[in-house]
Amino acid sequence: MATRVRPSSKRCAVIGGSGFLGRHLVEKLLDRGYAVSVFDIRQGYELPGVSFHLGDLCDKQALLSALKDVSLVFHCASPAPASDDRGLFEKVNIQGTRTVIEACIESGVQVKLVLTSSASVVFEGKDIKNGSETLPYAMKPIDYYTETKIQQEKLVLKACDKEKGFLTVAIRPHGIFGPRDPQLVPILVDTARRGKMKFIIGDGTNLVDFTFVENVVHGHILAAERLRPDSPICGKAYHITNDEPVRFWDFMSEVLVGLGYPAPRYHLPYILVYGLALLLWLLAMILRPLVSFKPTFTPMRVALAGTHHYYSCDRAKEDMGYKPVVTLKEGITRTVQSYPHLRKEA
């Protein structure tokens, strides 16, 4: 039998470390003196102090070699939420997360696993105001991404086992934004450039959480450093947001105007747009064998844009002393400045 080595407490692994959140997390971990192993299907960058291990998280042998001498693992890999590939979500988020858990347990005597979940695991397309972690998981998840994020979170929290020395926690961020985000600002600008950002869905007063990426990173590191056998956070989920709910359309307008595009002005009834989005989505499904088209207005996006969905961070404040480190205003300014290439040309 192989001898088990007690791993160095300052070496950690970031699965999905080439992605948007993953890379910000890696940078902060380096600042804090950690040596970092990134495990990802792609290598997005190079940094001193980071070793890259290319592989699929469904491959246990590949994972085991990346987790050698590691006592802290962050799992923030996922297929892009915009994908509609159910098989891929199931393979990566469910089977892959099972493999991550097995690899962590097999790799060391004391391993901590911090999962990036999502506050959307309780969202069914209906209003959520100041929702706490006691809300039940969505019974009818709005898409495959959410459905598999629920299963993933359940697997990770259930696997927490103090006797075995395997400690787990799940961080649930919402609406992550910031420099290098490949989704929020690029989608918004693309929609504006195609002349489709003229309309506000509903009356425009719905409040939503958008979370600056550095706050999400801060929440992950607090959780990792407080995850001990005697801590109340073992096996629990925590909302991490900017703790400043904002009108969805005010946030979008501020980013658009900051980049030189006009803010949306005309109102459309929510139910009408949601119905149309549903119809388009069904059409895309039915016609998929013949033609392939991706509607901009998916039911999920319309629900995200037209309902209240903001969450309480009280549990994270109480159990881990969480407090956002960057305000929403500062986060928006830094984000807008980081996208000079997406500015509207004069």
Ligand X SMILES: NC(=O)C1=CN([C@@H]2O[C@H](COP(=O)(O)OP(=O)(O)OC[C@H]3O[C@@H](n4cnc5c(N)ncnc54)[C@H](O)[C@@H]3O)[C@@H](O)[C@H]2O)C=CC1
Ligand Y SMILES: CC(C)=CCC[C@@H](C)[C@H]1CC[C@H]2C3=C(CC[C@]12C)[C@@]1(C)CCC(=O)C[C@@H]1CC3
Q: How far apart are CA 17 and CA 61, in angstroms?
A: 18
Minimum gap (Å) between residue 213 Cβ and ligand Y? 13
- Name which of ligand Y, ligand X, none residue 140 binds, using a CB cut-off of 5 to 8 Å depending on partner kind: none
Which of these segments, 103-111, 124-132, 176-184, 278-286, binds ligand X (CB under 6 A)? 176-184
- Residue 182 found at the interface with ligand X (CB under 6 A): yes
- Residue 71 found at the interface with ligand X (CB under 6 A): no
Nearer to ligand X, 16 or 324 (CB): 16
Identify which of 82, 91, 110 has the alpha carbon closest to the alpha carbon of residue 299. 82
- Residue 40 found at the interface with ligand X (CB under 6 A): yes
Residue 260, φ and ψ in degrees, nearest 5 = 95, 10
Q: Please give the single-letter amino acid code of residue 40.
A: D
Minimum gap (Å) between residue 62 Cβ and ligand X? 9
Q: How far apart are CA 234 and CA 252, in angstroms?
A: 36
Q: How far apart are CA 185 and CA 171, in angstroms?
A: 23
Tell me which residue has tokens 């290319």.
Answer: 54
Q: How far apart are CA 61 and CA 78, in angstroms?
A: 19
Nearer to ligand X, 72 or 92 (CB): 92
Lookup: tokens for 116: 């990036």
Catalytic residue list contains 145: yes
Tell me which residue has tokens 């470390």.
Answer: 17
Residue ranges that bind ligand Y, judged by CB under 6 A = 174-175, 183-184, 187-188, 191, 197, 199, 201, 208, 210, 296-297, 301, 304-305
Name the residues annotated as catalytic: 145
Residue ranges that bind ligand X, judged by CB under 6 A = 16, 18-22, 40-42, 56-57, 76-80, 92, 96, 116, 118, 149, 173-176, 182-183
